[in-house]
Structure 1
Amino acid sequence: MNFTVKDILRMEVTLALGCTEPVAVALGAAAAASLLPKKSFDSIEIWVDPNIYKNGMAVTIPGSGGLCGIDTAAALGACGCDPARGLEVLECLNEESVQRSTELLKRNVVTVNLREESGLYVRSRIVSGENIAESLITDLHSNIVSLTLNGEAVTDSPLISEPNAKTGKNLMAELEEWLRGLTLKDIYELVDELDESDLAFLKEGVDHNLRLAQHGLKYGSGLGIGKGIDRLLKQKLLVNDMATSARRLTSAAADARMSGANLPAMSSAGSGNHGLTAILPIWAIKDFIDHDQENVLKAIGLSHIITAYVKAHTGRLSAVCGCSVAAGAGATAGITYLVGGDVDHMAGAIRNIMEDLAGVICDGAKAGCALKLNTAAGAAVQSALFSLQGINVKDTDGIVGTSTENTIRNMGTLSHKGMIETDKTILNIMLEKEKNRKR
């Protein structure tokens, strides 16, 4: 099956309110709760994969009054969320639903179970009197594959994602398979397919992510990296060049998002932070070069496609920081495009950032992610500018392949096979920390 650039944008670029891992948990619980005639719950039980667990432990949930945790996300989803909202499911929260959720948590009726197998997985089971409702999300954060009520499958719900009748695969799996077969030249040529409606949609993404950045710069949310860079600029300890501007804007948005700002991000490849990294460094450098808005937006479109391309190889969730190697690759390709580079320059820029940031681990979603987005944004600018100067990593170096495509495939192998034990070790460290805090 062949796809178009519109398909990629429609499937890979979407609004998400809050970190997408607790959002997936809230969505699953909300979907199960929607099947129940009464909204009083005797118990809520959740099963999640290691990466959902890792990314849902410490990040603040928007609209919750500063709460965090997978159990909290499940309670909030069940008590006051509309599953039809998808990744914006938390938008429905209010004081009453937060209070009801808090009471459930105090009663200790919400249980979270860690599933040992990898691969995105969220199963929710809610008991309400004599009724038992269940939902299952797999592969993608919003991909509800089954709903059951009292053991009977609910097949007529619009919430359920239907697989392709011929292949048995969901549409996203088919898109990722198609993406993996593309070359960088193929992707570069897709940019010419972007029309006015696509560019308007891409500008909408810029506007959403800029609001998060402005919130972070104004309030110094989270770690306050963006606002800290502002202070350093005023003290003349930093210079406002392209890299600093990219780091300032991107980290400020991450500051706001990771601290639970009640503003949606335009996500990329299933992650809001990927969306911040794919969009904001490109927008930040436009003031340093001659440009028109159409080319800026085309560069952002290219960034989203490259991000999706890398994620198709590395997987949705892993021990590798996708903001660094996937969205970072997208951003550096977009920056290269915007400053006049060709497809060969883009290839060099992507290899540069892969060599630079391949070792950045994902140790869960939290305020500290702003540091990693800060690094990725700066590296995206640097990698692009180096490539334009003929500075490119050679294929004799480490995991760098004989082509950009081979390099990304090697990154996928590292992510899927090489980082399995690393991922387990990261989670064990985090679980031990959590256990010690509760003592």
Structure 2
Amino acid sequence: MKFTVKDILEMEVILALGCTEPVAIALGGAAAATLLPEKEFDAIEIWIDPNIYKNGMAVIIPGTGGMQGLDTAAALGAYGGNPGRGLEVLESLDETTIAKAKALLDKNKVTVNLRDEVGLYVKTKLISGSNIAESLIIDLHNNIVSLKLNGEEITDSPFLTKSHSKGGKHTLADLETWLRELTLPDILELTADLDEDDLNFLEVGVNHNLALAEYGLKHGSGLGIGKAIDRLIKQKLMVKDMSSSARRLTSAAADARMGGANLPAMSSAGSGNHGLTAILPIWAIKDFIDHDRETILRAIGLSHIVTAYVKAHTGRLSAVCGCSIAAGAGATAGITYLVGGDVHHMEGAIKNILEDLAGVICDGAKAGCAIKLNTAAGAAVQAALFSLHGVNVKDTDGIIGNSTQKTIQNMGALSHDGMIQADKTILKIMLEKQMTKKNQQDAK
């Protein structure tokens, strides 16, 4: 089984409007709603895995004026989502559909059920009179594998996932199995296969993510980290260099995205924030070096491939921060490529950033993600520059292996085996906070 760089881009690099976890819930609701004669519902029920639950709890849903929540995402998708837009399903929201969603939520007619099993899972049931419509999404945020109306499987819906590859045989699991066998030199060879169409596609991703960064810098959305860095540089409390420029641009985009800006991000490996981290630090440093368009875009292509490679080991959703671990590794590889480093420098840079950020946890999607993207962007620049000057973490250190492949395999073991209890504890803390807030509101 062999994949091409086009397969990787097609499956792993996709436009997404809003955080992909609530978006997946909205997509499930929107797809199920297409089976019903009218978009009027008596109740909605969803069943989701712990990581979808964790990442969808606190993030603002774009185009809603600040609404958030898992139940909210389900209702908005069912009433106003366009499943034909995939991860941009909520692009079609309007005031009428938002009002309908709020009315159903006010009646407490949307029920969220948390599964014990890990692995991306979103099951939606819409009840409308005597009709029950269901959808099921697994593995990928936009992977609709089942649609049912009154218990009968619907097989001819255009919203059911068709294969991402020619011949209809390969799935994300196939791609990840293949990716896990690659070495860093193999990945670098794939970058050479990027043609002009691929480069144009990668440039589209740059433009979308730059639009988010510009929005964040202008409006100070979310935590306003990007705008704060701007002020600090103007006050001469920070210096404008490669690292601060990477942090400024990347965190500003995360500020906008986590703050609910109604602009899509070019995602990477299933996450918009991964896409911001995989693309923007590389773009930010270009003004400090001699560069040309093709080299920059090939560096970004390399970043996407490395991000997908790391995620194939660590899992789609986990207790470790993928923006720091996976996209951070991708970004530092791309930066190393852009400044003229070879495969050995890239290997050193990836080891450096994983030693630096391996312990960063994922505690859900929210405004605070911008701080983590700020850290990851700066660390990606630092790790690359250190490696260029021969500063590399030794193979004898901790989880670092004697190759990029072995290091990332170790990171995968840490993510899957070592962090299971951590993930449960993070979710427990978040649920307790949510319950305390609800009790306080009920007391009023």
State the TM-score, normalizing by the size of structure 2.
0.97
CA shift in 2, pair 1:164/1:83, >3 Å: closer
How far 1:148 sits from its partner (Å)? Answer: 0.4
How far 1:274 sits from its partner (Å)? Answer: 0.2
Any gaps of 5 or more consecutive residues in structure 1?
none
What is the letter of the counterpart of residue 403 of structure 1? S
RMSD: 1.4
Question: Are the counterparts in 2 of residues 352 and 393 from structure 1 also a CA contact under 8 Å?
Answer: yes
Partner of 1:80: 80
Distance (whole Å) between structure 1 residues aligned to residue 369 and residue 375 of structure 2: 10
SS in structure 2 opposite 1:133? strand
Question: Are the counterparts in 2 of residues 162 and 170 from structure 1 also a CA contact under 8 Å?
Answer: no
- Superposition map of 1:93-172 within 5 A: 93-162=93-162, 171-172=171-172
SS in structure 1 opposite 2:263? coil
Partner of 1:273: 273
CA shift in 2, pair 1:145/1:429, >3 Å: same
Partner of 1:366: 366
- Superposition map of 1:11-30 within 5 A: 11-30=11-30
- Corresponding position: 1:422 with 2:384: no
What is the letter of the counterpart of residue 280 of structure 1? L
How far 1:38 sits from its partner (Å)? Answer: 1.7
Question: Are the counterparts in 1 of residues 35 and 133 from structure 2 also a CA contact under 8 Å?
Answer: yes
Distance (whole Å) between structure 2 residues aligned to residue 42 and residue 191 of structure 1: 51
How far 1:237 sits from its partner (Å)? Answer: 0.3
What is the letter of the counterpart of residue 290 of structure 1? D
How far 1:169 sits from its partner (Å)? Answer: 7.2
Deviations 1:18-66 (A, max 9, x none): 0000000000011111101121101100000000000000000001111
How far 1:191 sits from its partner (Å)? Answer: 1.1
How far 1:160 sits from its partner (Å)? Answer: 1.4
How far 1:163 sits from its partner (Å)? Answer: 6.2
Partner of 1:253: 253
- Superposition map of 1:183-198 within 5 A: 183-198=183-198
Question: Are the counterparts in 2 of residues 332 and 346 from structure 1 also a CA contact under 8 Å?
Answer: yes
Question: Are the counterparts in 1 of residues 141 and 270 from structure 2 also a CA contact under 8 Å?
Answer: yes
How far 1:301 sits from its partner (Å)? Answer: 0.4
SS in structure 2 opposite 1:416? helix
- Corresponding position: 1:174 with 2:202: no
Question: Are the counterparts in 2 of residues 216 and 224 from structure 1 also a CA contact under 8 Å?
Answer: yes
Partner of 2:89: 89
- Superposition map of 1:309-328 within 5 A: 309-328=309-328
Deviations 1:139-171 (A, max 9, x none): 000001101000100011121124699x99752
State the TM-score, normalizing by the size of structure 1.
0.98
Distance (whole Å) between structure 1 residues aligned to residue 169 and residue 395 of structure 2: 35
Distance (whole Å) between structure 1 residues aligned to residue 163 and residue 415 of structure 2: 26
Question: Are the counterparts in 1 of residues 268 and 274 from structure 2 also a CA contact under 8 Å?
Answer: yes
Partner of 1:349: 349
Distance (whole Å) between structure 1 residues aligned to residue 369 and residue 7 of structure 2: 29
Question: Are the counterparts in 2 of residues 319 and 423 from structure 1 also a CA contact under 8 Å?
Answer: yes
Partner of 1:199: 199
Partner of 1:407: 407
SS in structure 2 opposite 1:193? coil
Distance (whole Å) between structure 2 residues aligned to residue 154 and residue 25 of structure 1: 19
Question: Are the counterparts in 1 of residues 120 and 316 from structure 2 also a CA contact under 8 Å?
Answer: yes
How far 1:196 sits from its partner (Å)? Answer: 0.8
What is the letter of the counterpart of residue 209 of structure 1? N
Any gaps of 5 or more consecutive residues in structure 2?
440-444
Distance (whole Å) between structure 2 residues aligned to residue 369 and residue 170 of structure 1: 33
Distance (whole Å) between structure 2 residues aligned to residue 135 and residue 291 of structure 1: 47
After TM superposition, the runs of 4+ consecutive aligned structure 1 residues lying more than 3 A away are 162-165, 167-170
- Corresponding position: 1:333 with 2:333: yes
Distance (whole Å) between structure 1 residues aligned to residue 399 and residue 162 of structure 2: 38
Partner of 2:442: none
Deviations 1:280-329 (A, max 9, x none): 00000000001111100110000000000000111110000000010000
Question: Are the counterparts in 1 of residues 10 and 164 from structure 2 also a CA contact under 8 Å?
Answer: no
**% identical aligned pairs:** 75
